Chain A
């Protein structure tokens, strides 16, 4: 059992500051993504998420065998 110790705001920041190396999300209220599908095959061919702040797109999935992307090659993963 650990007795709770109620602490002040200044103490909170003192505890957390040393570990606050990254900005944590503040619980904003928006999230989204896009997807493209092939009507003939019925398959999803691409899924993209776009960063809400930077608008940078991240390809979560791409079917490189689909004709839409067949001319592209997937990036090789670095070990």
Chain B
């Protein structure tokens, strides 16, 4: 078994990239697998960005992703029968945070002279139920049944972890200009952790407009959000991306289209990881933006 804990990945075949480092929770993931048979044993079809066993989270907000854990199980033939795969994230006291694979059945029928690999990944972020304290967390994997593999543990340390306490649910879904930044409270909540976090978007300065317009928010012809800061300067959001369905779960890959009549409508979104903003672009598609970094490129 091989463990890879990284900030992001790139597909070796077509260059499709996904970054988790400093990005809003669970953003749509591009199709990372292709039918081109480039595969490196122990790595899979991926190049790993920022692979490490320690991560400093200075400047992070709760509601952001940190990294992804890929486990690669490897068998050399001959092996036949059902294997059951396990992989998980554990917290700083050794308890299971969540399973990536929990008794996933892999039916093996590998002749001599062949090898077989299985790869699964799952991401990790900053939240009360995920990384919430400085310390030594870990990823762990093993398999039972045919070609059983003993437990492998890799310690992953996190430092400068931000406070993950939440505001009350009354504050969910608000958007405003604070100082020279665009702020919002997310819609993350539900039974697992009712509440929300405040997020801060910093923009690129586009020039002086005047303090009379301070607090205005709009979208330009290129679909970027703008706002006027307290100082009277126009700030432009650093990224947006049209929503697709994430292929992380093999879902459909279409886009939301509601038509240009709805352009400019904006809300705090409750899809995907619920820590980003949704709005309708000039062409009538649903777009995503938020605090943190753009995610379809290298960190």
Q: Which residues of A contact B (CB under 8 A)?
A: 1-9, 11-12, 15-16, 18-20, 22-40, 43-45, 47, 49, 51-53, 60-61, 63, 68
Contact = CB atoms under 8 A, between A and B. Distances in A.
B193 interface: no
A59 B173 CA distance: 42
Interface residues of B, number: 71
A55 to B, nearest CB: 8
B113 interface: yes
Contact of A30 (B35, B218, B249, B280): B249
B249 A34 contact: no
B100 interface: yes
A72 to B, nearest CB: 13
Interface of B: 25-29, 32-39, 41, 44, 76, 98, 100-101, 104, 106, 110-111, 113-123, 173, 175, 216-221, 225, 243, 245-252, 254, 256-258, 262-267, 270-273, 278-280, 282, 286
Contact of A29 (B26, B36, B117): B26
Contact of B267 (A9, A23, A43): A9
B83 to A, nearest CB: 11
Given A15-B258, A35-B117, A61-B37, A29 B219 contact: no
Nearest to A1: B218
A5 B265 contact: yes
Given A16-B286, A35-B39, A30 B248 contact: yes
A31 B217 CA distance: 37
Contacts of A8: 267
A25 B246 contact: yes
Residue in A11, A45, A61 with the greatest tally of chain B CB atoms within 10 Å: A61
Given A27-B248, A49-B250, A1 B219 contact: yes
A37 B115 contact: yes
Contacts of B221: 1
A6 B175 contact: yes
B265 A27 contact: no
A79 B266 CA distance: 42
Given A3-B264, A26-B26, A27-B28, A52 B101 contact: no
A32 B278 CA distance: 28
Question: Top 4 closest A-B pairs, CB basis?
Answer: A27-B26, A25-B251, A32-B120, A44-B37
Residue in B33, B120, B252, B264 with the greatest tally of chain A CB atoms within 10 Å: B33
B218 A24 contact: no
Nearest to A34: B118
Contacts of A1: 218-221
A36 B267 contact: no
30 contacts: A1-B218, A2-B219, A7-B267, A9-B173, A12-B267, A16-B256, A16-B258, A19-B256, A24-B246, A25-B251, A26-B246, A27-B249, A28-B249, A29-B26, A30-B100, A31-B33, A31-B250, A32-B101, A32-B120, A35-B44, A35-B118, A36-B115, A36-B116, A37-B39, A37-B116, A44-B37, A44-B38, A45-B114, A52-B250, A61-B37
